[in-house]
Amino acid sequence: MPSIKVHKPGLCTTVQDIGRIGYQQFGIPVSGVMDEFAFTVANYLVESDKNNAVLEIPFLGPTLEFDFDVTIAITGGEIQAKINNQDVKMWESINVKKGDNLSFGNLKSGMRAYLAFSAEIDVPVVMGSKSTLLKSKLGGFEGRQLKMGDVLNFKNVKVLSKKNILDKKYIPAYSHNQNIRIVLGPQDDYFEESSIKTMLENKYQVTKDADRMGMRLAGEVIKHKDKADIISDAAVFGSIQVPGNGQPIILLADRQTTGGYTKIATVIKADLPKLAQMLPNDTIEFSLINIEEAQKAYREFYRILDEIKESFVVKPRVYTEKQLYVLKKLFGNRRKK
């Protein structure tokens, strides 16, 4: 069976796809990739299904040996990748040969890179997803991060005959200071207007207490009118909880399904990839927009992804009537001979 062997596992390399949709009512977190943009583009580059499972690579990448030919793509945070010690580029398709070794250095910008394949990672589908939920040891490769000596199997392998390269205009820049757009709610009424103003007028720093479940921020205290606790209700990717100490927490991919802290606001869908690439000590400035603006940004996010996918499709050449006439004469004469 086609496979790759893990010679070095990296810091915390895991199998991820878009996540477990439809199971939160049973207490199962969605999980899935942190950066949907980089994940989707990686799959488009290798002409795989947009939800094909990938390897998510935070901070320090693995070293992998291939025992089959396949096409790969590396996207997300800037990381130096090498095949057989020769540098390869990100944001484009790369054909890998049997026996090749793919290695990674440290991330230079951003926090997570994505490695996609023109093949399917052969791990069990658990509740509709191959994603790894580390805290529950669920999904992915034995419910855990990759370790030295692991052998990851693949199926439905193909190799691309053409090279796909993402136009530079689509490649995101990962800054240490990000402007993150939010909509208020669902419990913004638990806060005075002055508290909301405090949140919008000050920068908040990402603390070292940030992982796939949530991102703790440090900055000016956001005061409640009365209390921080509520009857637990649904939490989404991007919910901004404010516990009793007034320091916000942004819930991320591996978040719990419900939460008992007031949620002052929610990060919009289009800005979640920015959060996914933020490092400890990076800073966030929040910008308030309304729901109509958030919906517009949502549509634009997926419009751009569709545009990127379309850019890799080989379009049939359209000939003029004159060109068709010439071709007909030319090939017609050849058939007579």
User: Which of these three, 290, 305, 322, is where a domain ends?
Assistant: 290
Q: Kindly state whether residues 164 and 180 are assigned to the same domain.
A: no
Helix, strand, coil: what percent of the chain each, to 5?
25, 35, 40
Name the strand (E) or helix (H) holding 32. none
Q: Are 262 and 191 in contact (CB under 8 A)?
A: yes
Q: Kindly state whether residues 144 and 185 are assigned to the same domain.
A: no
- Asked whether residue 311 is assigned to any structural domain, the reply reads no
Q: Kindly state whether residues 68 and 46 are assigned to the same domain.
A: yes
| Residue-level pLDDT, tens digit, the chain, 337 residues | 999 999 999 999 999 999 999 999 999 999 999 999 999 999 999 999 999 999 999 999 999 999 999 999 999 999 999 999 999 999 999 999 999 999 998 899 999 999 999 999 999 999 999 999 999 999 999 999 999 999 999 999 999 999 999 999 999 999 999 999 999 999 999 999 999 999 999 999 999 999 999 999 999 999 999 999 999 999 999 999 999 999 999 999 999 999 899 999 999 999 999 999 999 999 999 999 999 999 999 999 999 999 999 999 876 666 677 776 776 777 765 555 4
- Asked whether residue 298 is assigned to any structural domain, the reply reads no
Total domains in the fold of the chain = 2
Domain containing 29: what range?
1-168
Give every CB contact of residue 181 below 8 A, 6+ residues apart in sequence.
Answer: 267, 268, 270, 271, 286, 287, 288, 289, 293, 294, 297
**CATH code of residue 264:** 2.40.100.10
- Asked whether residue 325 is assigned to any structural domain, the reply reads no
Q: CA Rg, the chain, in Å?
A: 23
Q: Kindly state whether residues 186 and 280 are assigned to the same domain.
A: yes
Q: Are 224 and 262 in contact (CB under 8 A)?
A: yes
